[in-house]
Chains A and B, each alone.
Chain A
């Protein structure tokens, strides 16, 4: 993403450890011993430094440390990771630096370490303020644990805090959701941001093996509406299908994904998109560790990346734009990188549409034309018009005069997959 002639980059750092898998979780995360975690932090630090050559032209605007449970790492680890970023990247002064934490895994020292290392945003996984629901989800904490963590976070000076909530939890009712919403918004200082996802049963999770009884579709939609209405009444604005924020507190890192900004992912399984090349790290922790820990290995490419002399990085001229081809060339043959895919124009267009439409604001017609040199109606003849007629999309003139935006209506959000599918132009064969 280029703004003011500058190139911007989001950084995602993955911490694949947790105390125990929750019943619904299909993320790359698992319990591990202290030594394993320490070794992983070292591998991560090597990767962050080694990859920096690729991103010399970029200013880092957002950093997101996610998991797993990053707060499980021993005190000081997060600081060591972030410092490695600062040493090797150009990080903007107002960079949004977030970390996910789970109640029950946070200490004052860990929060202070993150804060002192520049951290300015916390995301706390609460899911529900009703203990029976937490138990049903296989969470390791109670609501009381959350309150202590939240208190601690405020004391440590965090004022930009997200709380993750969940709807469609087994056994959840309208009343119990309202209780959760009330409890969360009645906190001494209201969270600046609330994510409210509805539970989806994913393959490979305990819930998939033993399917719990879930609220039906009608109740699920009611819960979704209640969430939106309630949060609106408390001053939150929905800015994405599942995200709500007090004005000015939208998660900038999330927006990078939906707006198709460049981002680099570090750690196992982390996904990146730079210059319209998508790639991701291996999910195999052993392979990942070998790649970044054993300096003696004879992989040329590793040597290349690890001897940190930025001038020797295979991009010839440091002022040249890093092209797609450069990136792909550099990524191919890297054992830790998988699914390297240079996006075609069609793929970029469809992503622009189906990712952008996740935002409440939708997609900007003018921007599409600016990027692709074609109008949306040229690429998708009649589709926007049809969905507008059917009440799924709406056109809006907003912001800069002359700009027109296309966004999902509330009905369109309920069935957004149906709408987004119509904007696909290509088939993947991955």
Chain B
């Protein structure tokens, strides 16, 4: 068994890489791992750290990952590098902040052509908030459009950190990687912390393993932990005995004798449920606890909810099992059973954001081979009733009767949008349409500005990002954080198909946009619902009052005129196709509704 025990804190560097999406974070991580040994380039699957298929496909990091490598520096000394890869999406901001808290420094990657983007800023500020030492590297310098000097100036002007001697690199082509490695040793401080104090370790991620139970990723701040240590999670109160401690090889877990202050590694303790190992919680020694937990722990709440139903009602138990398994690895996924008149038995699921929702949905479909019907996502509303009770509304169908509602509140975010000056107009218009409250604008340089808005969360969870991209021809970037709840004039919009209310299609909307949304929703459903043998009215209603209507005309003709000779195979195929199409429908009353129609509300802004 190898051990880090003999390694002095001064030879350890715990760091992460922060960047805007696509600026080359994961590629640089790969190069660092490759260059520091442990893994030859042949062994490397591109982007070692993003190990879910989905992550690789989407080019984003969903879960935090960590890897320990050994770097032999120019000064002849060997250093331990713990690289912690952080999720790169606003949905996972809290996870990002905990990963950052496990580091002592951060490498800021900025694209030499694109310069600073909204996520660059958000991530840098987050890193600086955690007192990390941040140093920049300029990536993609081999691109013809690279302007390293401009970008350096931008970094100094906008972020206010020293950038003139930033390494100029191409992670993709392996240029300048050695400079980055040396800079890590030079600029990022070694960890501190007393190995002889009571144990104080930060949980920054966890992973469920069917054999070992939960594998807890942690950074030891004070003290030490080894096999046999009795530990206690300070927030959840759960107690365990450590079975194994170790560090992260490339793609594997390598046991060691103990982890001590300054180190990054994992422990296992026959923990059955990730709920007991909340990200951000502090691990201490049950027998010799530390006085105070580490700051910054919070319970993560779901921001977005939707109903998930099996397309085939008989698959309900399969869906339940799949959700259970996914939750083992993802404590931020919440679900509870619910019943819809239209869709039958399913689950109301809570997510950190829309990306998180999409990821779970895709994993359910791919990894568990489930065919799903998903209802339109919504945010959590607070409904204050006349009797003083406040309910958190996650399913529009549960909205109490308007007569007992005193008022409603909706979540609001503060958003920062970075945009080239040409597109300020269209972007402001977009924010206005989405009920944004303008807070201000800063010019970062002559051609770029940072717009600050407050926006209702429910206006941005659907397609705001797409709209932003299309209205700025891809030049706008966007970041936000939850600000809080605000009172708002909200109504429930109901959809009636063939005069029957379809509960799964109801959604909450601001009073002023209700008419427009209702009209668009009816139009959209008219496109989605196939023609039947009878006319189908589609209506939008608020509290029983119809505000919009469309009609799906009846089929006049569906007949194979000529059925030539004795060859009936074609005729049968045609009939089969017809029958097959029906299988992908949901029967509501007499009407068959395609599964994707339940997501229609998401596409109301399609032009």
Contact = CB atoms under 8 A, between A and B. Distances in A.
B557 A415 contact: yes
* Most B CB within 10 A of own CB, among A339, A417, A427: A417
B559 A27 contact: no
A416 interface: yes
Contacts of A392: 533
Interface string B557-586: 111111111111101111110110010000
Given A265-B566, A428-B569, A241 B579 contact: no
Given A200-B561, A415-B558, A273 B569 contact: no
Given A12-B565, A242-B561, A418-B533, A354 B575 contact: yes
A218 B561 contact: no
A1 interface: no
A273 B561 contact: no
Contact of B569 (A217, A354, A421, A430): A430
The 10 A-B pairs with the shortest beta carbon distances in the complex, nearest first, are A271-B566, A421-B578, A271-B567, A197-B562, A198-B561, A421-B575, A197-B561, A415-B558, A417-B558, A421-B579
B558 A416 contact: yes
B533 A390 contact: yes
A302 interface: no
A66 interface: yes
A413 interface: yes
B555 interface: yes
A414 interface: yes
Contacts of B560: 200, 241, 416-417
Contacts of A413: 559
Given A241-B561, A392-B533, A418 B566 contact: no
A351 to B, nearest CB: 7
B533 A339 contact: no
B533 A27 contact: no
A430 B576 CA distance: 12
Nearest to A414: B557
A22 to B, nearest CB: 13
A180 B559 CA distance: 23
A427 B568 CA distance: 14
* Most B CB within 10 A of own CB, among A198, A278, A350, A418: A418
Interface in B352-380: none
Contacts of A390: 533
A77 B561 CA distance: 32
Contacts of B561: 197-200, 241-242
Interface residues of B, number: 25
A121 interface: no
A277 B524 CA distance: 47
Contact of B576 (A199, A221, A263, A424): A424
A358 B556 CA distance: 18
A227 B505 CA distance: 44
Contact of B568 (A217, A265, A355): A355
Contact of A424 (B557, B566, B579): B579
Interface string A190-207: 000000011110000000
A193 B113 CA distance: 77
B565 A265 contact: yes
Question: Chain A interface secondary structure, helix, strand, loop or mixed?
Answer: mixed
A265 B555 CA distance: 36
A245 interface: no
Given A27-B564, A424-B576, A427-B576, A414 B556 contact: yes
Contacts of A218: 556
Contacts of B571: 354
B585 to A, nearest CB: 13
A280 B567 contact: yes
8 contacts: A200-B561, A270-B565, A350-B572, A392-B533, A418-B533, A418-B555, A421-B576, A427-B576
A208 to B, nearest CB: 15
Contacts of A421: 575-576, 578-579, 582
A414 B531 CA distance: 14
Contact of A200 (B562, B573, B576): B562
Interface in A257-276: 257, 263, 265, 269-273
A414 B561 CA distance: 10
A66 B565 CA distance: 9
A417 B574 contact: yes
Given A354-B575, A424-B575, A428-B576, A418 B567 contact: no
Contacts of B564: 27
Contacts of B566: 12, 257, 263, 265, 270-273
A338 B294 CA distance: 76
Contacts of B574: 417
A416 B555 CA distance: 11
Nearest to A392: B533
A265 B568 CA distance: 13
A47 interface: no
B238 to A, nearest CB: 53
A229 interface: no
Contacts of B568: 257, 271, 278, 351, 355
A220 interface: yes
Nearest to A260: B568
Nearest to B554: A415
A422 B579 contact: yes
B576 A414 contact: no
Contacts of B559: 241, 413-417
Contacts of B562: 197, 200, 242
Contacts of B573: 428, 430
Contacts of A416: 558-560
